[in-house]
Amino acid sequence: MSTQLFNENATQERAENARLSNIIGAIAVGDLVKSTLGPKGMDKILQSSSSRGDDGLVVTNDGATILKSIPLDNAAAKVLVNISKVQDDEVGDGTTSVCVLAAEILRQAEQLLDQRIHPQTIIDGFRLATAKAREALENAAVSHKDDEAQWREDLLSIARTTLSSKVLAADKHKFAEVCVDAVLRLKGSTNLDRIQIIKKAGGKVSDSYLSDGFILNKKIGVNQPRLVKGAKILVANTPMDTDKVKVFGAKIKVSDTAQLADLERAEREKMRAKVQKIAALGINVFVNRQLIYNWPEQLFADAATGLVTGGEIASSFDNPELIALGSCDTVEEIIIGEDRMVKFGGTAAGKACTVVLRGGTNQMLDEAERSIHDAIAVLSQTIAEPRIVYGGGCSEMLMSKAVDEAAKLSIAMEAFARALRQMPTILADNAGLDSADLVAKLRAAHYEGRSTTGLDLFNGDVIDVVGKVTESFKLKRQVLLSASEAAEMILRVDDIIRCAPRQRRN
């Protein structure tokens, strides 16, 4: 006699079957994105079935963007999607690396499970290996924050490394300067909201530039000055129209046109009073989040005020002492492509800036924006944690060597070291190079004591990567820790229980 524990149609996978299902799912996700890794990585086209035209079309090699766009049913695969999101939120880049490394660790774990080694034994070895790898990474990290020239060069090198695997790789030197200049304006803050990115289709990618100040995608009102110096700004969110009674469901009946004229006159006088209150604040620039219609616009022109953006948003003007006004040096109209916009120069905070991106297609612009965001995010985190490490497979080989040397008694630690060595192998494979030969040379160089050796994927050689391929220490540490934690969590699972699908009622 058998007792049914779960609802009908619920499923359960146990022990080896559960582990195998998880590991295969995670490896499949790693294999999906690993071809995008490195400066020679390929892109993916993601197309939504519900969108028409090119609205649902995304061309990208950003790991987080790819993984969050595809529907997955495997539980372990969803864990890797989550770690890529965390990596994106925490550091901004390395989303592909963290998924690929976690998948490679699990690929090695699968071979150990086939040898009948218990998952907890493997996990213990992986934990020791992670600690050794982290220690080696921290010992190799250096900081040049006290040397201003070298510090800027480090930031530029990090930006170039980040951008070299993106769509902006051909202009990485120009965009590295743009990103570094933008982030240094933040003066140590990691709040990226002050760096605005405006995308305008048309022109070439190389026509993009960094503009000091804030650019607002609005037009200056009719009969308003196109340049205001010493701007005193009010930002409002208030209705500025007189053509309807603003009470929902209200009805007004009039018996003759004279009463209608009186009603219109009252509305106009009410609007005149509001404009006078705004003008009495002593501002010379006014921006409203709602439309400004002809009559109040004419009143503003008469009062010689401009129409633009700044300080805290106000919706009532009866208590002028409670309204916080903004300020900046200049407010002027500029033209980007064929569009007129408003630029606020010399903002009060002194930190705002705008990256203006140009490009041939909307997909190109969207991917360029993702690339700039990744670079800016990594740079801002590097300023907060100024240590750097070296890329091109250098750091992974360094950690692999340290784990190998400590793996005298643990076969799991040897497996972890092999997983780390897979990262430079994949970089070389994606570049169409002989990965077996190159990684063997790289490993030999590290065992000879040349610990700053990495791969030159453009010339197919092993070189000293100091000053050539630089990465953020925080990014690399986060990739290591997140990947090993995700692999450990997936290895711990010995049971997968799926609920019965909910029945649809006709």
Contact yes or no for 221/300 (Cβ under 8 A): yes
Contact yes or no for 98/87 (Cβ under 8 A): yes
pLDDT for res 245: 52
Rounded CA-CA distance 70/87 in Å is 18
pLDDT for res 184: 87
pLDDT for res 86: 87
Q: What's domain 11-141+389-498's architecture?
A: Orthogonal Bundle (1.10)
Burial class of residue 319, CB neighbours in 10 A (0-12, 13-18, 19+): exposed
CATH 3.40.50.720 fits 148-213+351-386, yes or no: no
Q: Where are the domains of the chain?
A: 11-141+389-498, 148-213+351-386, 216-347
pLDDT along the chain (506 residues), means of 10: 56 67 86 89 82 71 84 83 87 88 93 88 92 93 87 90 85 89 81 82 84 76 73 71 56 73 75 74 72 55 38 57 68 80 68 82 87 90 89 91 85 93 92 91 92 89 88 92 91 71 62
Active site residues: 62, 95-96, 374
Query: What three-state secondary structure class fits 249?
Result: coil
Contact yes or no for 26/490 (Cβ under 8 A): yes
Contact yes or no for 478/57 (Cβ under 8 A): no
Rounded CA-CA distance 28/24 in Å is 6
Contact yes or no for 453/465 (Cβ under 8 A): yes
Q: At 339, phi and psi to the nearest 5?
A: -105, 140
Query: 216-347, which class in CATH?
Result: alpha beta
Neighbours of 456 (CB within 10 A): 17
pLDDT for res 498: 64
pLDDT for res 462: 92
pLDDT for res 231: 74
